[in-house]
A and B are shown apart, each in its own frame.
Chain A
Amino acid sequence: MLNPGGNIQLDGEGRLRHFLTTDGLDRRILIEILDHAESFAVVGDRPVKKVPLLRGKTIVNLFFEASTRTRTTFEIAAKRLSADVQSLSVNLSSTTKGESLRDTLQTMEAMHCDMFVIRHSGSGAAHFIARLVAPHVSIINGGDGRNAHPTQALLDMFTIRQHKPDFAALRVAIVGDITHSRVARSDIYALNTLGVREIRVVGPKTLIPAGIESLGVKVYTEMESGLRGVDVIIMLRLQRERMRSALLPSEQEYFRCYGLTEERLRLAREDVMVMHPGPINRGIEIDSRVADGERSVILQQVSNGIAIRMAVMALIAGAGRGRA
């Protein structure tokens, strides 16, 4: 049986049907996405930046949470695949979340959409919707609450592989607000599946969830020891509302303890890669000289986001046809 666990993300033949989380996706699927993304990446360099793969398909980006780069790269990815794409920013009315989500979706389905990209502040929103949709409709998670952001994780893996193809040799540090980060969680699952040598999470105790060691990571509450000898640093965005919730003293204090500066960068390996999902807070989690410096691959991550999203959309649309 190709989908023995009944993974909601896979169809009966073990192919990707929804893309909701990197948790529970095996190495074969992750590598398949990365390999296809390599082919899609070159489409952006051509005179005609478009392939006809998803001609006639309709993709709707349903964004219940603000986003610029994720939404834009999903749109560009869909357009480069020749799909028709519509983006909707939906304001949540606080009392009727579950209901309005279902209603919005059914309205969209009635318009014969083939695929939805969902971003929502509620953890589990994408899974919730994936269980509701008609069999011919696929869901891609564009980020749900603090749960998962799987396309970000895959574009991170793709960027790492471009520079350092041997995952088994890598020490990776994820730095910042681990507790509230869907990027951290999705990266950790993907890095483990791809078999990296070591994953470290680095941040203040108040922003590292208790028991996270069970995901196969080492916890460091001190920046200096956490960065020593690492090959990859993934910085997380510090959300300012965390200051208000008293988890952190101040922005200046945070930068002093956990900001990525040139001095701290020297503790890592000489060829270290500096990554960040964006948008960056200069002077809060990262010094401008590092963000714009030669070790930074932050803008490559953005470009790679298009190729990864093309690969995921194409694989899902392909598997979807198999069901028909």
Chain B
Amino acid sequence: MRTVRTVKRLAWAACATAGALAAAACGGGAGSGGSGAVLSSSWGDPQNPLEPANTNEVQGGKVLDMVFRGLKRYDPRTGKAKNMLAERIETTDSRDFTITVKDGWKFSNGEPVTAKSFVDAWNYGASLRNNQKNAYFFGYIEGYDKVHPETGAQSADTLSGLKVTGPRTFTVRLNQKFSTFPDTLGYAAFDPLPSTFFTDHEGWIAKPVGNGPYRIESYTRGSAMNLKKWDGYPGPDKARNDGVTLLVYTDNNTAYTDVLAGNLDLVDDVPATQLKNVRTDLNGRYINTPAGIIQTLAFPYYDPKWNTPGARKVRTGLSMAINRKQITDTIFRGTRTPATDWTSPVLGADGGYKAGLCGKACTYDPAQARRLVREGGGLPGGQVRITYNADTGSHKQWVDAVCNSINNALGNDKACVGNPVGTFADFRNQITQHKMSGPFRAGWQMDYPLIQDFLQPLYYTNASSNDGKWSDKRFDHLVDQANAEGDPARAVQLFQQAEGVVRDNMAAIPLWYQNGSAGYTDRLHDVALNPFSVPVYDEIRVG
């Protein structure tokens, strides 16, 4: 069984700041035209043109979520993948899938959405020459190694695993068994594309055309994007407002004060500095819900010091020396939740989240921590240095707090120190070049709400986001079994067993789940964040 290539996804912190370079467009208020039911929302310029397979940061993702609909859509509340454009996705062996597209769907330019719209889009996204950031999402499909080889030139233009079999049907053959593959199809990379995307690419980039409840009216880089409700939208989730104006802010503090002043309707990601007063400021119009992000401390298993049975005890001891509750309460003011497993609460119990799976190993217990570290032969090298990047996401505060917690618990003020690396890029380079000598910061934002996405890319042998090169035969075997399992409930159980292996070895120390937050004015109703921490715009009512 081959592992599937996944690109490093620890970039979430960098993503949050992407596009924050242009000048702020404050003022302005709600959109142009004077339509009353248009809301304004804080935004940042997308990093890349809005090609679905090339957008892996949250600001571009926000727009794609409004102007596109895929085969599946993740329920904004439960995170469950539900059929959207898919009429049926059938398989008998968890490897060959037959997908039938619903009738009656159109792009906003009138072109019908067919099986070909999907297959062409996926081939485009996977092809090396198009250099799409999300290409690795197609890595499960047979023939990916031909159209997107790791090195050298591609030997095919299209994925051999994709075949159009009718106007509304196509087949997908995967390169391994992957029973939950249909549930990954809600990700933007799998969105369909109209033929104008290929025939008039420049024109499409200038004004993207999709099949979602909104149409892009205009976009001025560094200032604003106007989206209008598409009246002809055939889907069930029609927009309940007349449009959304996304205003570019470089500083979310400014956006926040604009919400207080009534110049802006919605700010997502309330700045940390305002968290103390946000509830009174906004009179309850504040959301703080778990997002699909977990923070962990990963370890370098390529360093023999950390790859011993004793080091396993040391890692567990370190985990028990961290007072997660106190750190999330004081440093993060409750916008993080102490982690008790290696997934995320947004999966829900059915999806594989299991509160307390980590058990005692994630419970603060200084005495036990001291004992385990001693039994494990003490800290490798006498000291742990937690490596992190100093440029984004104010990691210093929590790293210092974690170190203080470990030092206090172990009764040694030199047990743990932070080791900042100047830039995120340098930090990532040092990780990929295997230069870590101790624990390092790892953040994982899910690609789709499946337990598989929290385990396989991170802990499977040689999975390419397995930065610490952890390897365990039992874990690999359980993941293989889970992927081959046709019954979703049974697959989840197998994944949880695999997660148990991660726990028993403390392959990575889970720290906390990250929350998403938003604040809004009293003009808006029914504001919610989806599992990706993006506001569910189509449900918002204005007035």
On whether the two chains bind one another, the answer is: no
Q: B residues touching A (Cβ–Cβ < 8 Å)?
A: none
